Amino acid sequence: MAQVLEFKLPDLGEGLTEAEIVRWLVQVGDVVAVDQPVVEVETAKAMVEVPCPYGGVVTARFGEEGTELPVGAPLLTVAVGPSAPGGDAGESSKGSGNVLVGYGTSEAPARRRRVRQTAAPAPAATVTPAPATGTPAAPDPGALDTPSTGDRPRADGPVPVISPLVRRLARENGLDLRALTGSGPDGLILRADVEQALRATVAAPTQMTAPQPSTAPAAPAAPAASTGPAAGTRVPLKGVRGAVADKLSRSRREIPDATCWVDADATELMRARTAMNAAGGSKISLLALLARICTAALARFPELNSTVDMEAREVVRLDRVHLGFAAQTERGLVVPVVRDAHARDAESLTAEFARLTEAARAGTLTPAELTGGTFTLNNYGVFGVDGSTPIINHPEAAMLGVGRIVPKPWVHEGELAVRQVVQLSFTFDHRVCDGGTAGGFLRYVADCVEQPAVLLRTL
């Protein structure tokens, strides 16, 4: 007899708590093999194809494309065993070889479910109308924070919410979750349900007091003064934008940062790059040369390649440089990471920057390629701006910002000349070092930009 196993959305790592279904790769009734990708999801960090750890026949799918599911919510069910419709004895319920958090390679028994031949459509979210006064009913704090087992609640039971983000969103907007019917499995309330309810509340017409009749002559109509809050459009902080907001907010809360900057004459660096590229072979990017300068500077000032452990009250100096670089994409700002940048030459750095940039634009970066950085290089000069005050990429300790390189009047060898000038901005965590160390780092970087031969002496 066929056994039906339930595959839940696994923990995709790096603290991610939810993912949005982008595209189903299988249909109900399809035969899947162990470790075959069955769905493409988008997390706050990347697009990921999720493999199924079971082999058999897909009997049900949970969630339409565009639905956001919390980690642990059911994705699909698979009938395994020789009696499965369309299956064969070769498929088994053995654990997958891929180590998915919560699945691994063990043969732990999965939750049994009755076989469904078709996926039942999820009910649409409904909202109970608010009172006519326009004042939302005060939510019951106990009901909002009551954990749910995922079963459909009784009328006096807990609210079916798994995600703490959903509960917080409802609480911050004064929305009573008991007034919603979730569109997720077993009535689970998703973030999309809360957002739809909030949009419906904003769109609801506000009752206006009828004007009183007047016997006075009608005066020219004047624009009515607005007494309420300004109307606007709500844009959910989700996906990449939400991840950026969370990380930058945490950086500002936890890191006592300071910024210093200096103008540097980049004329000789630009000439050196032109000469390198004229010699044949692979082209060297300017970003790669700046990255090479950064890794040399971090070797001289290792305090800045570190992180702070406040619980242990220790500064952890890291022995390898994993260099992040800011990349603007259609999905928002992402920071891919070049592993072991300190061990790469300019040619290798150029190739890795190009590969990661292309993956960022295509939305195919993996969570591993977006995490683990120890220092970030931000070239905002590509946007045509001169300077900035970078926000440190938590939990790193520093970031170097590079503005545009433009011709400017400059005193060179005692005479006024037109030179290629760049502004360098350096933000650092004041807990790991004082201004003398930060100033020394920035001055060394500027010296390498102005006289690339300085870098050669340190190699």
CATH number of the domain to which 429 belongs: 3.30.559.10
Q: What is the pTM of this model?
A: 0.57
Domain count, the chain: 3
List Cα–Cα distances, 124 to 121, 168, 291, 337, 434, in angstroms: 9, 22, 51, 41, 57
114: in domain: yes
Q: How confident is the model at residue 261 (pLDDT cuts 50, 70, 90)?
A: very high
- Most confident by average pLDDT, 14-28, 160-174, 255-269, 271-285: 255-269
Tokens 């706050």, located at residue = 44
258: in domain: yes
232: in domain: no
Mean pLDDT of 322-328: 92
The reported pLDDT for the residue numbered 204 is 54
**Do 299 and 411 share a structural domain?**
yes
Q: How many helices (H) and strands (E) does the chain have?
A: 9, 21
- In the listed set 147, 181, 203, which residue is the last one of a domain according to the structure? 203
**Do 71 and 2 share a structural domain?**
yes
**Do 404 and 288 share a structural domain?**
yes
**Do 144 and 115 share a structural domain?**
no
The residue among 53 and 156 whose pLDDT is bigger is 53
- Most confident by average pLDDT, 83-87, 158-162, 215-219, 321-325: 321-325
157: in domain: yes
Q: Catalytic amino acids?
A: 430
The reported pLDDT for the residue numbered 102 is 43
Residue 183 and residue 180: Cα distance in Å, rounded?
A: 9
The reported pLDDT for the residue numbered 173 is 80
Given a cut of 80, whether residue 303 has pLDDT beyond it is: yes
Q: Yes or no: say if 293 and 449 are a contact pair by the CB < 8 Å rule.
A: yes
The reported pLDDT for the residue numbered 305 is 97
The reported pLDDT for the residue numbered 164 is 54
Q: What is the mean pLDDT of the chain?
A: 78
Closest CA to 365 of 338, 386, 395, 393: 338
**Do 248 and 176 share a structural domain?**
no
The reported pLDDT for the residue numbered 148 is 38
56: in domain: yes
- In the listed set 154, 184, 203, which residue is the last one of a domain according to the structure? 203
The residue among 441 and 1 whose pLDDT is bigger is 441
Given a cut of 50, whether residue 427 has pLDDT beyond it is: yes
The reported pLDDT for the residue numbered 67 is 85
**Do 37 and 153 share a structural domain?**
no
Q: Which residues contact 93 (CB under 8 A, 6 or more apart)?
A: 3, 5, 54, 56, 80, 81, 107, 110
91: in domain: yes
Mean pLDDT of 278-294: 92
Given a cut of 60, whether residue 130 has pLDDT beyond it is: no
Burial of 280 (0-12, 13-18, 19+ CB in 10 A): exposed
Query: What residues are paired with 50 via a beta bridge?
Result: 39
pLDDT tens, residue by residue, 170-210: 777 878 887 888 887 667 787 778 888 887 776 554 444 44
**CATH number assigned to the domain comprising residue 112:** 2.40.50.100
Mean pLDDT of 391-420: 95
**CATH number assigned to the domain comprising residue 165:** 4.10.320.10
Domain that holds residue 168: 126-131+139-203
**Do 370 and 289 share a structural domain?**
yes
222: in domain: no
Given a cut of 80, whether residue 153 has pLDDT beyond it is: no
18: in domain: yes
- Most confident by average pLDDT, 14-23, 79-88, 134-143, 162-171: 14-23
Instruction: Tell me the HSE value of 270 on the side-chain side, using a 13 A CA sphere.
Output: 12
**Do 164 and 96 share a structural domain?**
no
Given a cut of 80, whether residue 111 has pLDDT beyond it is: no
The reported pLDDT for the residue numbered 223 is 58
Q: How confident is the model at residue 90 (pLDDT cuts 50, 70, 90)?
A: very low
- Most confident by average pLDDT, 17-31, 160-174, 207-221, 248-262: 248-262
**Do 194 and 102 share a structural domain?**
no
Closest CA to 263 of 416, 442, 58: 442
The residue among 60 and 217 whose pLDDT is bigger is 60
**Do 394 and 321 share a structural domain?**
yes
pLDDT tens, residue by residue, 335-380: 999 999 999 999 999 999 999 999 988 888 888 898 899 999 999 9
Q: Yes or no: say if 63 and 77 are a contact pair by the CB < 8 Å rule.
A: no
**Do 114 and 165 share a structural domain?**
no
**Do 107 and 65 share a structural domain?**
yes
Given a cut of 70, whether residue 313 has pLDDT beyond it is: yes
